[in-house]
Structure 1
Amino acid sequence: MPSQPTWRRACLSLALAAAALQSHAAPSPLLDASHPVDWWFAFKFNAYSFPGCGGAAPVNRCQFGGAPQGYTSAGSYSQQYIYASSSQPSLAQGNGCVGDTPADPVGATFGQIYNGALNYVVWNDQFYDDPAIASCSGNACLAPWGHSKGVLAWDAQGNGVVMQVSTPSWPASGSAQFPRTSDGNTLGCVADNDVEVSQHFFSLKLSRADVLALLQGLANASVVTDPGNPQIVRNGGPADIQNAVSQLGQQSASATPQVSKLSSGVTLISKPSALQVPPWQLVSAELGGIGLRAATWWESGKSTAIPSTAKPGKPACWDSRLPTPGPVAIATSGSWQGQAFSLKGGPGKNYNHAKIGVSTSGGASYAIFGDMNQEGALSGDCASSQNGRGGLFFALPNAALAQSIAKLIGGATAASAR
């Protein structure tokens, strides 16, 4: 048996080696601060059906800046959530306040970016002037800017992690070195009450080639960011990635969707703003004309609410170069553990701002996470609403997850147009 000094030196060497490995580990989606996975999905409930936080939640700590807002009184917010991951693909109840602890998927994954030294791009069409985007009029960026929100981070080798979010005004800084100056940067701690309605979050591990494909997709979708502002962009790593980052923050003239198969098997679909077609019909078409069921911000009675379509077929608002889409059903309610909740859009605390879907036909079972609402037009004003904006969709082939989400959003369905 080695002497105590030798034993101590050996332990020290192992600890230093472990720290070195950890410091050079590729960024990954995290379920908590020490549990990397290939992907995870989280769904945050609305304040009417699932108020407050889950379990024995601590007082909101606002770990990325800000202070608890007045809307965090009982019933006016929700940070209760369910989640699934590559290590547990069926949805399960989460604990605490999503996004506000190192022990939940959103908080842990964002924390490695915000408190680390990774390169990053943050994009959001609703920064609400912190940071200000010079090329946008007002505090939000409207069409033809992309309706898209998220953060991408990568290391010196180009390996990365992306987190798609549906939350306005969060995130709005990628680093603790460059915090927001007029608002917080933590869910539940920003002036906009984006924890009142349902939201979704999706994170995926990326290879260097995936990072480049995603950056090209972001440019194609005209996402809102600013490569010259260190609050939302830190550019570095491989030269081709740096060049792709430098092209962001501009409005693309493309009318061609970008479809990329990532190393994980996920299909990335980028809709450009100039491709003026209904968003979820585009997703169906690019996935082989499969049937879909989608839950988005869908306002019943509003002229731009696209109805369900019961049969395959090209709508009048279509591009002749595109394949034929399958039927797209619009989910208007769902349930979790016997508690029903609304999946419609609208003002108030009983609504849904997540953009999620599942396949209902075809060979593969897809869970789909998007930027875009099913609002616009099948015919008539083809530039209406989301038809005239860009955004991304991640289609993940996983039967267990797709089945679990299908059950979550398996309530009522909007009436069909045909």
Structure 2
Amino acid sequence: MRRAKFCIQLFLLFLVVSFFPAQFSGQGTQTAPSPLWSANHPVDWWFAFKFNAETFPRPTTSVPACMFGGTPGGTRKYTRIGQSYVAASSEHAALAKGPGYLGDSLADPVGATFDEVYNGDLSYIVWNDQFYRSPVLACEGSSAVECGAKWGHSKGMLAWNDDGNGFILQVTTPSWPGAGNSANPRAGDGNSLGCVNDDDVDLSQGFFALKLTKDDLLKVLAALQTEGAVTDPSNPQIAKIGGPQEAKDAAAKLGSPNTTSTFTQATLSSGVQVIAKAGGLAAPPWQFVSAVLGKVPLRVATFWQGALIYSTPGRTKPDCWPTALQSLSPGTVQIVKTGIWDGTTIGLTGTSQKDASGNSLGANHAKIGVSTGSGSPLTIFADMNQDGAISPVGKLTCSSSQNARGGLFFVVENEDLHKSVTALLTGKYAPSKAPAATRTAGTTSAATH
């Protein structure tokens, strides 16, 4: 009788362990959050490129949904709205035209992924050097509307559960997102693409989301500290800090510029690399990335405007090359001016250009790079512009513009993704030297988008 009872107990225990394995494995019980391709469709990563309003405009009869707050076109009533997009994911790594309009519903990756946090119960922290005083941050003076030199130029959101599993959403949009959860909605501005007071949907923009383990989360938090992410962990509008104690401690350290001449490089569990540049590391941003990756030649599209850094060969180190990088050398860095999608030429600089027929090509604010050599097929998603100085000349110094800003770079090795992003960035590119007048006078003015 006892033996029969013992056998029954073992059988019942077997059933419990089979149906609830996480309870007995030492792992957390929560379902790990993931980037969403659409509602209830998790993926390991996705990338979306939103076209500018001049080349792929949203019809004037179609109004942004503003499902996270705001009014269509913002209070400035932008009439040119570009939310058409192409996207790729871990399930289909080649770029393809996406349905609907980006950030407009739960059927697109930005809308679905942001909704997971905004209308969920995850811990989060949001950073953006251009909140435009919504919320007000300590780094903004009485007249300033954004945080300047030495601070990180990155923008995005990190979200995680009680076990420390989560994802990062890197964006290039000034002023979006400006609140992380509906419990503390944004005051003073909108919180949806197409519904904020900045020109986010006029220019092209880039968005990258990546699934993170607890160890990955800690590495990304460390990278955010290195680059000097502009945030405030004590402000509930942009931060809700919970989960493992290590994550709480790391998040609490955010919100200060990093004026040291440092950088970090880490490989995440997905194989994706994250590189962080401190604001005190005064170096041309994309030459820095090329050097850290082992002299990899790059083709780069950014908000190229102001203190322009032109295409550079990889034969010598720039004059603006800090001591911390002396053991490294950059490869060739080529600046893309135009790209192409579905037979349409698009502008890939910070100023709208015209094609041979006089049509406007629009402007770009995404920051994307691809490797161009015979090595690994690398695609880089970032938040730094190729603006600053290679050498001191005129009014330019090695600390001009983005040379002295912090930033993040996520490096993905995937052949299909690389092939399709390379095709998107195919077009005219900048020469290796600025026009003579520019080289002589120099400039320190540069839009900080």
Paired position in structure 2 for 1:213 = 219
**2:233 aligned with 1:227:** yes
**2:362 aligned with 1:350:** yes
Asked if structure 2 preserves the Cα contact closer than 8 Å seen for 1:308 and 1:328, the reply is: yes
Paired position in structure 2 for 1:153 = 159
TM-score (norm 2): 0.84
**2:338 aligned with 1:326:** no
**2:405 aligned with 1:389:** yes
Please list, as runs of the form range in 1=range in 2, the aligned pairs for 1:180-195 lying within 5 A after superposition: 180-195=186-201
**2:7 aligned with 1:27:** no
Letter paired with 1:330: I
The alpha-carbon deviation at position 253 of structure 1 amounts to 3.2
Q: Secondary structure at the match of 1:386?
A: helix
**2:308 aligned with 1:311:** no
Gaps of 5+ in 2: 1-18, 21-28, 353-359, 435-449
Paired with 1:382 and 1:362, the residues of 2 have a C-alpha distance of 31
Please list, as runs of the form range in 1=range in 2, the aligned pairs for 1:270-349 lying within 5 A after superposition: 270-299=276-305, 302=306, 304-322=307-325, 323-346=328-351
The alpha-carbon deviation at position 320 of structure 1 amounts to 3.5
**Distance change (3 Å), C-alpha of 1:361 and 1:349:** closer
Aligned residues: 393
Paired position in structure 1 for 2:146 = 140
Asked if structure 2 preserves the Cα contact closer than 8 Å seen for 1:235 and 1:245, the reply is: yes
Q: Secondary structure at the match of 1:283?
A: helix
Instruction: From the CA coordinates, give the structure whose radius of gyration is larger.
Output: 2
**Distance change (3 Å), C-alpha of 1:178 and 1:73:** closer
The alpha-carbon deviation at position 72 of structure 1 amounts to 6.6
Letter paired with 1:175: N
Paired with 2:152 and 2:124, the residues of 1 have a C-alpha distance of 19
Q: Secondary structure at the match of 2:42?
A: coil
Paired position in structure 2 for 1:10 = none
Deviations 1:105-145 (A, max 9, x none): 00111110111000001000000111100222211111121
The alpha-carbon deviation at position 229 of structure 1 amounts to 0.3
2:72 to 61, 68, 75: 68
**Distance change (3 Å), C-alpha of 1:362 and 1:287:** farther
TM-score (norm 1): 0.90
**Distance change (3 Å), C-alpha of 1:88 and 1:361:** same
Q: Secondary structure at the match of 1:90?
A: coil
Paired with 1:73 and 1:279, the residues of 2 have a C-alpha distance of 31
**2:133 aligned with 1:129:** yes
Asked if structure 1 preserves the Cα contact closer than 8 Å seen for 2:126 and 2:156, the reply is: yes
The alpha-carbon deviation at position 60 of structure 1 amounts to 1.9
Paired with 1:153 and 1:254, the residues of 2 have a C-alpha distance of 27
Asked if structure 2 preserves the Cα contact closer than 8 Å seen for 1:342 and 1:350, the reply is: yes
Paired with 1:130 and 1:219, the residues of 2 have a C-alpha distance of 22
Asked if structure 2 preserves the Cα contact closer than 8 Å seen for 1:345 and 1:351, the reply is: yes
1:369 to 372, 381, 385: 381
Letter paired with 2:378: Y
**Distance change (3 Å), C-alpha of 1:149 and 1:53:** farther
Q: Secondary structure at the match of 2:216?
A: helix
The alpha-carbon deviation at position 312 of structure 1 amounts to 3.5
The alpha-carbon deviation at position 399 of structure 1 amounts to 1.0
Paired with 1:385 and 1:229, the residues of 2 have a C-alpha distance of 28
1:178 to 184, 187, 195: 184
Deviations 1:157-183 (A, max 9, x none): 000100000000000100000001111
Asked if structure 2 preserves the Cα contact closer than 8 Å seen for 1:47 and 1:349, the reply is: no
The alpha-carbon deviation at position 73 of structure 1 amounts to 6.7
The ranges of structure 1 where at least 4 consecutive aligned residues each deviate by more than 3 angstroms after the TM superposition are 70-74
Letter paired with 1:195: V
Q: Secondary structure at the match of 1:218?
A: helix
Asked if structure 2 preserves the Cα contact closer than 8 Å seen for 1:53 and 1:97, the reply is: no
The alpha-carbon deviation at position 193 of structure 1 amounts to 2.2
Paired with 1:73 and 1:267, the residues of 2 have a C-alpha distance of 37
**Distance change (3 Å), C-alpha of 1:333 and 1:50:** same
Q: Secondary structure at the match of 1:24?
A: coil
Paired position in structure 1 for 2:87 = 83
Paired position in structure 2 for 1:12 = none
Asked if structure 2 preserves the Cα contact closer than 8 Å seen for 1:66 and 1:186, the reply is: yes
* Range moving further from structure 2, 132-141 or 265-274: 132-141
Q: Secondary structure at the match of 2:116?
A: helix
Asked if structure 2 preserves the Cα contact closer than 8 Å seen for 1:180 and 1:231, the reply is: yes
Paired with 2:214 and 2:322, the residues of 1 have a C-alpha distance of 32
The alpha-carbon deviation at position 194 of structure 1 amounts to 1.0
The alpha-carbon deviation at position 254 of structure 1 amounts to 2.5
Paired with 2:90 and 2:373, the residues of 1 have a C-alpha distance of 23
Asked if structure 2 preserves the Cα contact closer than 8 Å seen for 1:293 and 1:330, the reply is: yes
Letter paired with 1:125: D
Paired with 1:253 and 1:336, the residues of 2 have a C-alpha distance of 40
